Amino acid sequence: MKTLKKTSDLPQAPRCHIHEKAAAFESAQNEHGLLLDLLFNAMHAPAQPLRADSCRFERCVFAHAHGTSEFLDCVFDHCDFSGADLSETHFCRCQFSHCRMSGTDLIQSTLRDVTFEDCAMDYAGFGGSRFDRCRFHSCSLKESGFSNCTHKSLQFLSCRLDRSEFASTSLSSLHFESDEISGIIVSPELLRGLSVRADQALELSRLLGLHIV
């Protein structure tokens, strides 16, 4: 029997209150350098760190974004982050839907109450990041990196995790039953507590050098 997730384990939704449509990123910042309560549509983000609170981004391009940024209560819909450098970025109560994030660098980032839905995230790097109540749903994460991560209430649902790397990351409490994990890289001593299907267990046994006859 499948255990239902407690409400406290699920990501909180963004508290997004949009007041007006922004004309451009550069002119939209207030006196504190903050993007606040704004809608951005089909714009290119500047090549600089960003601070945004209660904003919605639709079909925006963040490919040249770099540096430590902060996003609070933000929604990203059909945005392009391919190759962006968002290392050491802080995300709180954010939602990514149908975004392109192939090769996005998110190493040593902090993600709290963040949801990724139907995102293309092959080769994305999350090494050294911290996850708290985060969920990946129907995402392609092939050859992505989750090494040296810490997590609490982290979920992967119907994701492609082929050849992704979880070295030096505890897999305790994670569930991969609905995911594809062919060729996944893990630390054998940190497998305890991982939930998988029978065929996935066979795959993992091969990675560990076991021969089942």
* 3-state secondary structure labels for all residues of 22-50: CCCHHHHCCCCCCEECEEEECCECCCCCC
Would you kindly state where each structural domain of the chain is located, as residue ranges?
Answer: 12-207
pLDDT at residue 144 above 50?
A: yes
**119 within 8 A of 142, measured Cβ to Cβ:** no
pLDDT at residue 44 above 90?
A: yes
* DSSP at 133: E
User: Can you give the pLDDT at residue 6?
Assistant: 56
User: Can you give the pLDDT at residue 2?
Assistant: 44
Q: Read off the pLDDT band of 36 (50, 70, 90).
A: very high
Q: By 3-state DSSP, what share of the chain in percent is helix, strand and coil, each rounded to 5?
A: 10, 35, 60
Considering only 138-147, 153-162, 184-193, which range has the smallest mean pLDDT? 184-193
- HSE-CB at 45 with a 13 A cutoff on CA atoms is 29
| Mean pLDDT of all residues belonging to the chain | 90
pTM score: 0.89
Amino acid making up residue 210: L
pLDDT at residue 212 above 90?
A: no
pLDDT in tens, 73-113: 999 999 999 999 999 999 999 999 999 999 999 999 999 99
- Cα(78)–Cα(81) distance, integer angstroms: 10
- Strands (E) across 9-109 are located at 20-21, 35-36, 38-41, 51-53, 56-58, 70-72, 75-77, 90-97
**37 within 8 A of 17, measured Cβ to Cβ:** yes
pLDDT at residue 117 above 60?
A: yes
* Total Cβ atoms within 10 A of residue 68: 15
When comparing pLDDT for 189 and 133, which is higher? 133
Query: What backbone phi and psi angles, to 5 degrees, belong to 97?
Result: -130, 125
Considering the segment(s) 12-207 as one domain, its CATH architecture is 3 Solenoid (2.160)
**126 within 8 A of 107, measured Cβ to Cβ:** yes
Considering only 2-16, 18-32, 57-71, 149-163, which range has the smallest mean pLDDT? 2-16
pLDDT at residue 165 above 90?
A: yes
Q: Read off the pLDDT band of 31 (50, 70, 90).
A: confident
Instruction: Say how many Å lie between the first and final Cα of the chain, rounded.
Output: 29
Q: Compute the radius of gyration of the chain from its Cα atoms.
A: 18
